[in-house]
Amino acid sequence: MIAATPAAAATLAALHATAFPPAEAWDTATFAAQLALPGAFARLHPEGGLVLGRVSGDEAEILTLAVVPAARRAGLGRALLAAAMAEAGARGARAMFLEVAAANEAARALYAAGGFTPVGRRRAYYADGQDALILRTTLGG
């Protein structure tokens, strides 16, 4: 797993574009801006995946997580999630949140396996009208 700095923003954006539809993909400027925020961190998986997270006080958030289509179902998503949880825990976070489309079965299964449970729902949150689920897990025992 590789720690990504703002200098890797173009690499992160290129990976993201393979995993999300064009309207949802984040560009280089977006990654650079997100990574410049206090508490932000990112990890690149050498086989094709990324996670971007942020810690604020004792709470953390996963902002995006993606694996290139050709490398899915090989454990990369699980490894990226574990790396983000470990990094956030090491930075002092005790809980981690994220939002996921209610219909995103792959991501929901990944997060459930990682110990995340739903704590809220935002109706018609996405541009296509889908609901978002807010998931949470505790960190660091």
Residues that bind ligand COA (CB under 6 A): 19-20, 65-67, 72-78, 100, 104-107, 109-110, 113
Smallest separation (angstroms) from ligand COA to the CB of 100? 4
Smaller CB separation from ligand COA, 92 or 130: 130
Smaller CB separation from ligand COA, 25 or 92: 25
Q: What are phi and psi of 93, to 5 degrees?
A: -75, 145
Smaller CB separation from ligand COA, 33 or 74: 74
Smallest separation (angstroms) from ligand COA to the CB of 47? 9
Smallest separation (angstroms) from ligand COA to the CB of 14? 14
